[in-house]
């Protein structure tokens, strides 16, 4: 369970370009929920998703993940919790273009003691229906294939929470539908899925 209590985010505090991106957000997300965070560009969706995904800190408030107070933990402990619990599909894929598909998918496994990283990556790619692309360079993929690779990278650690930032934003409508169906099936398999969208 994810509990945000009065979370605020101020960028550049005490500077003249200080900016309050989130103000007093309280939100409870139960295990197995499918949630869409919707809002116009600049409204703070990515900021909120990055905080939920433990990729960014917040300025005020409290965040409990499975009852544990995140703000009391150091960076190393947070990285460990993130690696174990959270898969993140970043805006615009955020893949490394000059690496192969499987090497991209293996990246989240580096902090984890796992003897067979390549096997886990191939299994994740298989679930996304693109195992045959494993040795291709990311730069040679279509948009839909890139997003499937990004989702494979998000699920390779078997997290129970999947976060996706505008996962269909850069795709045509047919491919968007396919990606949305993949996210639905991840949720039907019991994972919590949180997506950000302006659509």
- Interaction site with ligand ADP (CB under 6 A): 11-12, 19, 21, 39, 41-47
Q: Which residue is nearest to Mg ion (CB)?
A: 46
Q: Which residues face 28 on adjacent strands?
A: 3
- Indicate whether 168 belongs to the interface with Mg ion (CB under 5 A): no
Residue 165 near residue 6, CB atoms below 8 Å: no
| Separation between Cα atoms, residue 43 and residue 46, nearest integer Å | 9
Question: Taking CB within 5 to 8 Å according to partner kind, which of Mg ion, ligand ADP, none is near residue 47?
Answer: ligand ADP
Q: Find the shortest distance in angstroms from Cβ 19 to ligand ADP.
A: 5
With the CA atoms of 119, 123, 124 and 127 taken in that order, what torsion angle do they form, in degrees rounded to the nearest 10? 170
| Separation between Cα atoms, residue 62 and residue 48, nearest integer Å | 13
Q: Find the shortest distance in angstroms from Cβ 110 to Mg ion.
A: 26
Question: Taking CB within 5 to 8 Å according to partner kind, which of Mg ion, ligand ADP, none is near residue 21?
Answer: ligand ADP
Toward ligand ADP, which CB reaches closer, 93 or 121? 93
Question: Taking CB within 5 to 8 Å according to partner kind, which of ligand ADP, Mg ion, none is near residue 14?
Answer: none
| Separation between Cα atoms, residue 87 and residue 127, nearest integer Å | 15
Among 46, 85, 104, 192, binds Mg ion (CB under 5 A): 46
Toward ligand ADP, which CB reaches closer, 8 or 43? 43
From residue 189, alpha-carbon distances to 2, 67, 105, 130, 168 in Å are 18, 23, 21, 19, 21
């Amino acid at each position: 369970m994810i509990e945000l209590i009065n979370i605020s985010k101020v960028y550049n505090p005490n500077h003249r370009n200080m900016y309050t991106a989130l103000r007093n957000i309280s939100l409870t997300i139960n295990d197995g929920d499918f949630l869409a965070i919707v809002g116009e560009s600049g409204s703070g969706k990515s900021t909120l998703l990055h905080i939920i995904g433990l990729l960014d800190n917040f300025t005020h408030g409290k965040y409990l993940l499975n009852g544990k107070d995140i703000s009391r933990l150091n960076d190393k402990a947070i990285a460990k919790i993130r690696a174990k619990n959270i898969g993140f599909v970043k805006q615009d894929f955020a893949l490394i273009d000059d690496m192969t598909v499987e090497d991209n998918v293996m990246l989240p496994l580096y902090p984890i003691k796992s003897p067979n990283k390549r096997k886990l990556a191939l299994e994740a790619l298989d679930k996304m229906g693109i195992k045959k692309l494993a040795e291709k360079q990311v730069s040679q993929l279509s948009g839909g294939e890139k997003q499937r690779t990004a989702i494979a990278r998000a699920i390779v650690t078997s997290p129970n929470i999947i976060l996706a930032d505008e996962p269909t934003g850069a795709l045509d409508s047919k491919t968007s539908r396919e990606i949305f169906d993949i996210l639905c099936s991840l949720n039907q398999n019991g994972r919590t899925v949180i997506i950000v969208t302006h659509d």
